[in-house]
């Protein structure tokens, strides 16, 4: 679901259908020099956030559509992500640092999927976790992609102690 795309003068993001990531690399071919960016078909948002001890952060799986570009054969158009979190697909395996649904040491996940929406609420632990930031992950299976199989989506949440002052900021730029 990860592709390399360029934005045209018309504001539309386009990528080659020929892009490949089967070996862990994303590739494309081009006939022009342009600014290029990685674009994802599905995302766990926010991708990163700070969460205070015992505080919560909502996480949503968003689908960013793509389809054939009728004006340029062999290329695909990329569309905006669905901001309401509606999804026509399956997600499962929500975890925090690899622990299903999390635990008291790394934080917990609550909530459940509906047929159109995949959202979880992360609750930070009462004490700073040993591995910080924590990685919240979910498996996403695109029903229209029979080749690649499930994709792991990840959000990195930094648990902070608001009572500790600004000490946690010292390493931000390193």
Average pLDDT value over all residues in the chain: 77
As a whole number of angstroms, the distance between CA 145 and CA 141 comes to 8
Residue 157 pLDDT greater than 70, yes or no: yes
Residue 42: predicted pLDDT: 76
More confident residue, 23 or 93: 93
- List all residues 6 or more positions away from 121 whose beta carbon is below 8 Å from its beta carbon: 56, 57, 58, 59, 109, 110, 111
Phi, psi (5° rounding) for residue 167? -55, -35
Residue 101 pLDDT greater than 70, yes or no: yes
- The average pLDDT across 38-66 equals 83
Residue 148, CB-side half-sphere exposure with 13 Å CA sphere? 18
CB count within 10 Å of CB 19 equals 15
- pTM of the complete model: 0.68
Residue 128: predicted pLDDT: 95
Phi, psi (5° rounding) for residue 97? 50, 35
């Amino acid at each position: 679901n990860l592709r390399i795309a360029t934005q045209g003068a018309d504001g539309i993001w386009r990528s080659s259908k020929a892009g490949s990531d089967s070996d862990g690399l994303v590739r494309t071919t081009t006939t022009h020099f342009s600014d290029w960016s990685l674009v994802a078909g599905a995302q766990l948002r926010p991708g990163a956030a700070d969460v205070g001890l015992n505080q919560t952060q909502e996480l949503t799986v968003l689908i960013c559509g793509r389809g054939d570009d009728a004006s340029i054969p062999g290329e695909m158009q990329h569309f905006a992500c669905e901001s309401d979190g509606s999804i026509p697909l399956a997600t499962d395996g929500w975890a925090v640092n690899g622990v299903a649904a999390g635990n008291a040491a790394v934080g917990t996940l609550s909530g459940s999927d509906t047929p159109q929406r995949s959202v979880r609420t992360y609750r930070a632990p009462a004490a700073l976790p040993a591995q910080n930031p924590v990685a919240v992950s979910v498996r996403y299976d695109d029903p229209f992609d029979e080749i690649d199989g499930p994709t792991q989506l990840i959000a990195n949440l930094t648990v902070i102690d608001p009572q500790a002052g600004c000490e946690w900021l010292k390493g931000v730029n390193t």
